[in-house]
Amino acid sequence: MDQHAFDALFIGAGIAGATAAAHLAASRRVAILAAEESPGYHATDRSAAIWIRNYGSPDARLLTAASRAFFAAPPPGFAAAALMRPRPVVHLAPPVQVATLGAMIGEGEGIREIDLEAVRAKVPALRPGHAAQAWYLRPKARRKLMVSPADETDSQPCDAQPEEYDIALALDRMRQALDIPVTRVEHRWAGRRSFTPDRRLAIGAGAEKGFFWMVGQGGCGIRTAPAAGRLLAAPVAGEDPGERAPAAALCDPRRFARGLAA
């Protein structure tokens, strides 16, 4: 049997672990251990990633903002095509969610209130009088839309598969909001997300020496990966988190051992 020595072993080949491994590989010998036959098989491969600055928990928003520069201008030779391009994103709120939307506008950066008629001018198919619930839609091709009910169903680790009810729910919500006929469902899939008890990320040293956590991305793994990868690589390499210190404090896994999760 061949034997190899490594400085760091990453368990899992999703976008989070792979990015941290890439950052650390510049100065350390690293290996990635994965159970599936292809990397990023579950959460990463099935994610419809959108870089949204004002979405998620406070730590996720910090890491999302810190990751923008990488997506906007990746290193030369990193990718053959651009990693991101701008597109407008609209949040619609029914009366019971007006306060939530107001808080989002107040806490966010680059987000502002707009008139519903302005939205309808951009999306003529939006039905008058409708306010969206928890779902999203985005164009995939000239005559295709990707629709999701944005649901969360607790489960044990598994190869998540789409349920017929969830497909029907997504289509029903779309029909309520948009005057667009649905002729057929071409593809369907389900993703998998992991959460910590307080729904913040857990990135950093664990209770045992030499063991580090990077879990609980909760659907924001891709858009936070560049900064989150560096956030994990720093303590593994024995370095200071630097400008990422505020995020490091929020993501510290030891908060659960100290009973500080909230």
What is the average pLDDT across 15-44? 85
What is the average pLDDT across 11-23? 88
Q: What is the pLDDT of residues 165-217, one digit of tens each?
A: 999 998 998 888 889 888 889 888 888 888 999 999 999 998 888 999 999 99
Does residue 53 have a pLDDT over 80?
Answer: yes
What is the average pLDDT across 28-57? 82
Does residue 143 have a pLDDT over 60?
Answer: yes
- Lowest model confidence (mean pLDDT) among 50-54, 162-166, 193-197: 50-54
For the full predicted model, state whether its pTM sits above 0.75.
yes
- Give the pLDDT score at 202: 95
Q: What is the pLDDT of residues 66-117, one digit of tens each?
A: 999 999 999 998 888 888 888 888 877 777 788 888 888 888 887 888 888 8
- Give the pLDDT score at 133: 44
Average pLDDT, the chain: 85
Cα–Cα distance for residue pair 117/210, rounded to 1 Å: 56
Q: What is the DSSP string of the chain?
A: ------SEEEE--SHHHHHHHHHHTTTS-EEEE-SSSSTTTTTTTT------TT-S-HHHHHHHHHHHHHHHSPPTTS-SS-S-----------GGGHHHHHHHHHH-SS-----HHHHHHH-TTBPTT----S-EEEEEETTEEEEE--------S------HHHHHHHHHHHHHHB------------------TTSS-EEEE-SSTT-EEEE--TT-HHHHHHHHHHHHHHHHTT---GGGHHHHHHH-THHHHTT---
Q: Which domains does the chain have, with CATH numbers?
A: 8-78+194-257 (3.50.50.60)
Tokens at 172, concatenated? 């029903």
